[in-house]
Amino acid sequence: MKPGYVPALGTPLDAAGNLMKESYRRQIEDQIQAGAVGVLCMGSMGIQAFLRSGICPEIARTAVEAGKGVPVFVGAMDTSIARVRERMEAMEGIDAAGFVLTAPYYSPASPKQMIRFFKGAAGCTQHKILLYDLPGVTQCKITYEMVLQLLREIPSLAGIKSADLQMFRRLKLNPEVPEDFIMVYSGLDTFDIAYRWGITNCLDGMLSCTPRTSKALFDSLAKNDREAAGKHLNAIVALRDLFVAHDLWPSYTAAMNALGYEGNYGPDYADVLPATEKQVIHRALAAMGEIVE
């Protein structure tokens, strides 16, 4: 992958839980126009775990069609090999760059069980596989040693998304790791530090609602302007913290709506943000230059 940012797309749904295709297309096209070098469809910010299984192929197909010109990665996370296989079989004919898999997330798995899970899931598809290290959700950590073992045992393993900077540093320095092995950093708060270690791709859900600032961040990093890069990164992190303070899902929905992307972007049980708090989100986006008033 080229250096740059990879937004974890939000999934716009109507009141019945159906995909709002035109809104989704506009989001993806705008991200690519802003400089995204790839997109993740149905990641954690894309509420993959909360979606009806029946609409996942439509979401993936729409993303691939709208994302022509950049790699489109598709989330296929679930709680067992059998369930992941069902997801991937339903999307096997779609020309995605690869399927993205967390460890099974309902209950903790041992390292041995995680290895068995990833090998079993990878054997169910002709697509490339990317690991998604998300221990806060899955209750188990993908380790450096596990990545090395999986690289030896899964020919289709193409990369990993993680916030573990130390693991990425060790992988970067290990000559056994292929040069084209994709390492996408999700530790948003420290991405400018990771960039200095040659970790040149950042993937996070916040990047889907901050395309202008994300572009400015990477432009600054490419010029080695650390002060400007830090300023842009701090702005994205501050917006994330604002979302968390006002309730993540409805805040994210309010932000995407303010950017012109209709739909609900959270689970169907999420609250609706009060009008006064929507105004706070709107003002924050305007202050960052994401909304031009």
Structure tokens at 228: 């400007």
Q: Specify if 288 maps to a domain.
A: no
Q: Specify if 287 maps to a domain.
A: no
Q: Specify if 271 maps to a domain.
A: no
Task: Report residue 289's pLDDT band, with 50, 70 and 90 as the boundaries.
Answer: very high
% of the chain with per-residue pLDDT over 90: 95
Q: Specify if 284 maps to a domain.
A: no
* Average pLDDT taken over every residue of the chain: 95
Q: Specify if 274 maps to a domain.
A: no
Q: Specify if 47 maps to a domain.
A: yes
CATH label of the domain that carries residue 141: 3.20.20.70
Position 197 pLDDT exceeds 90: no
Angle at 51 between CA 50 and CA 56, to 5 degrees: 145
Q: Residue 292's pLDDT is what?
A: 81
Q: What is the pTM of this model?
A: 0.94
In the chain, at which residue ranges do the beta strands (DSSP E only) sit?
Answer: 4-7, 39-41, 72-75, 98-101, 129-132, 157-162, 182-185, 201-204
Q: How confident is the model over 270-288, as pLDDT tens digits? A: 999 999 999 999 999 999 9
In sequence order, the 6+-apart residues with CB closer than 8 A to the CB of 167 are: 133, 143, 144, 147
Element counts in the chain: helices (H) and strands (E): 12, 8
Distance, in Å, from the CA atom of 130 to the CA atom of 100, rounded to the nearest integer, reads: 5
Q: How confident is the model over 55-96, as pLDDT tens digits? A: 999 999 999 999 988 999 999 999 999 999 999 999 999 999
Q: Specify if 13 maps to a domain.
A: yes
Q: How confident is the model over 245-277, as pLDDT tens digits? A: 999 999 999 999 999 999 999 999 999 999 999
Closest Cα to residue 124, out of 61, 72, 82?
Answer: 82
Distance, in Å, from the CA atom of 126 to the CA atom of 290, rounded to the nearest integer, reads: 39
Total Cβ atoms within 10 A of residue 126:
7
The domain tally of the chain equals 1
Q: Specify if 280 maps to a domain.
A: no
Expressed as residue numbers, the domain containing 19 is: 4-223
